[in-house]
A and B are shown apart, each in its own frame.
Chain A
Amino acid sequence: MTELLDLPSDTPEALMELFDSRGWGDGLPLVPPTPERVGAALAMLGDVDPDEPIATLAPRFGEATRRTIAVNAVLAGCQPEYLPVIVSAVRALARPEVNLRGVNATTHPVAPLLIVHGEMAQRCGYNGGLGAFGPGSRANATTGRALRLILLHIAGAVLGPGDASTQGGPAKYSYCVAENEASTPWENYPASRGIDAASAVTVHCGEAPHNFHDMESDHPARILDKCAAAMASLGQNNAVIAQGEYFVALGPEHAATAASHGWTRQDVASYLFDRARLPASLVRAQFDRVAWAPWMHAMGDDHLMPVTAHPDNIRVFVCGGAGKHSSVIPSWGMTRSVTLPVEP
């Protein structure tokens, strides 16, 4: 059961002091998770067991129940109606292909990016438009923060014993956007992954977004060549881990240019697979160990090696507002993204 604590005073300082003394929190002010606030959030889930463990989160192997998830959502400042999104995101993070133990414990600055799709994104005000990765949306900011608090408190991803990240990173505070479905010229992202649901979540464990811009091109090839250049970096884990995915967050204007030339989402991925490459000799010279797919080892030194083993590892969604900017979100590597329907 979730423990109830006595807070000697209802001031923000008292809550911060209590959390500091227990090694909890992310360093920012918190909202007191009173039974009333937590109950209001749980009410959004309908007739479900609030204390049923729905996931066990590594490396602490903490049991995430709907109630403990709601506690962290309240702490982060979430509105009650965000809770189904957060519960679904926790389910996704617990999937074995995410490799949450590695994601949390590595020296790399990886953080789970949460993308919210569909009706829930609209209803709750998740921002997939102008400045989506930045501040200003309570839904984005607090939902991303709630996931981080869940990783800190339940999963035990605390600096040192549970998080060895050499430098950390700003995405570890909060990392949540919506898909801009209104500006997506293709089917929505979950449909492209075979998910037929009114609302869905995707988690992708990667770096903070790497921007690329193209202000002048009217053909997708010239735009995507800049994207390919941002992908083909020796400094990213993807350079040596061929199973790693890239998420490409295309701005609506870049996506529209691609679609206006008849390019599908798969065409964009195939083009990037072909263009985002590094000479095999360079990769071999720079790294003693490479986690390539078996076929890649058979390629000669003069081969231009793709930075991921398959075009399907390049995942494209539309995000952002007016302007000619897009971004690439490289992977930590030994992890796979997960898309799930929103369920209580």
Chain B
Amino acid sequence: MKIYAPDGSIGKPSFVLAATSPVITGRRIGVLDNGKPNARLMMVRMAEQLAARTGASVSVVTGKGSGHNAATACSDEVLDQLEKEADLVITGSAD
């Protein structure tokens, strides 16, 4: 018997992730607080330890922007800022 698969194709992604740098010495680390409780505390600590171990620096710590929260994407202004001020960004923490 022939049946159709139920999942279909994946559409074009609206973005492409940048290539990962093999060495982060001298690079700038950004932290994007996703708005979940304690996310900023945990991710800033991670960024500071990563910077201390690798010779990178923590260049920017930011929320998602005014009116944005854990359930929404961050603002275009914050994305622009991260693009200008950071070479890699740590984000994503659940509750």
Residues of A within 8 A of B (CB): 1-7, 9-10, 15, 24, 32-35, 38, 53, 56, 60-65, 67-68, 71-72, 75, 99, 102, 106-107, 149, 153-154, 164, 288-289, 291, 332-334
B1 to chain A, nearest CB (A): 4
The interface size of chain B toward A, counting residues with CB under 8 Å, comes to 21
Among candidates B11, B35, B37, B94, residue contacting A53 with C-beta atoms closer than 8 Å: B11
A274 to chain B, nearest CB (A): 26
List residues of chain B with CB within 8 A of the CB of A56. 11
Q: Are B3 and A32 in contact (CB under 8 A)?
A: yes
Provide the bound-state CA to CA distance between A6 and B9, in Å: 19
Given A99-B71, A333-B71, A334-B69, A33:B8 Cβ within 8 A: no
Q: Is B18 among interface residues, defined by CB-CB distance under 8 A?
A: no
List residues of chain B with CB within 8 A of the CB of A334. 69, 71-72
Among candidates B1, B11, B69, B72, residue contacting A32 with C-beta atoms closer than 8 Å: B1
Q: Are B6 and A149 in contact (CB under 8 A)?
A: yes
List residues of chain A with CB within 8 A of the CB of B5. 2-5, 71
A254 to chain B, nearest CB (A): 32
List residues of chain A with CB within 8 A of the CB of B94. 107, 164
The dominant DSSP class at the B interface is loop
A229 to chain B, nearest CB (A): 26
A307 to chain B, nearest CB (A): 18
Q: Are B3 and A5 in contact (CB under 8 A)?
A: yes
Q: Are B6 and A68 in contact (CB under 8 A)?
A: yes
B residues 21-35 touching A (CB-CB < 8 Å): 35
Provide the bound-state CA to CA distance between A34 and B4, in Å: 6
Q: Is B2 among interface residues, defined by CB-CB distance under 8 A?
A: yes
Q: Are B72 and A153 in contact (CB under 8 A)?
A: no
Residue of B nearest to A1 (CB): B9
Q: Are B4 and A10 in contact (CB under 8 A)?
A: no
Provide the bound-state CA to CA distance between A63 and B71, in Å: 23
A339 to chain B, nearest CB (A): 22
Among candidates A1, A7, A53, A288, residue contacting B2 with C-beta atoms closer than 8 Å: A7
Q: Is B19 among interface residues, defined by CB-CB distance under 8 A?
A: no
Q: Are B37 and A288 in contact (CB under 8 A)?
A: yes
B67 to chain A, nearest CB (A): 9
A184 to chain B, nearest CB (A): 32
List residues of chain B with CB within 8 A of the CB of A99. 71-72
Q: Is B10 among interface residues, defined by CB-CB distance under 8 A?
A: yes
Q: Are A68 and B7 in contact (CB under 8 A)?
A: yes
Among candidates B1, B4, B12, residue contacting A38 with C-beta atoms closer than 8 Å: B4
Provide the bound-state CA to CA distance between A71 and B5, in Å: 8
Can you list 7 A-B pairs, Cβ within 8 angstroms, ordered by A?
A: A2-B4, A6-B2, A24-B6, A35-B2, A35-B4, A71-B5, A99-B72
Give the 5 A-B residue pairs with the shortest CB-CB distance, closest first: A334-B71, A68-B8, A3-B5, A153-B6, A56-B11
Among candidates B4, B12, B14, residue contacting A5 with C-beta atoms closer than 8 Å: B4
B residues 14-57 touching A (CB-CB < 8 Å): 14, 35, 37
Given A106-B71, A289-B35, A62:B3 Cβ within 8 A: no
One digit per residue, 1 when the CB lies within 8 angstroms of any chain A CB and 0 when it does not, for chain B 74-95 equals 0000000000000000000011
Provide the bound-state CA to CA distance between A214 and B35, in Å: 40
Q: Are B71 and A102 in contact (CB under 8 A)?
A: yes
Provide the bound-state CA to CA distance between A289 and B69, in Å: 10
Q: Are B13 and A61 in contact (CB under 8 A)?
A: yes
List residues of chain B with CB within 8 A of the CB of A7. 1-3
List residues of chain A with CB within 8 A of the CB of B14. 61
Q: Are B3 and A63 in contact (CB under 8 A)?
A: no
Q: Are A34 and B69 in contact (CB under 8 A)?
A: no
List residues of chain B with CB within 8 A of the CB of A53. 11
Q: Are B72 and A34 in contact (CB under 8 A)?
A: no
Given A164-B94, A288-B37, A334-B69, A10:B7 Cβ within 8 A: no
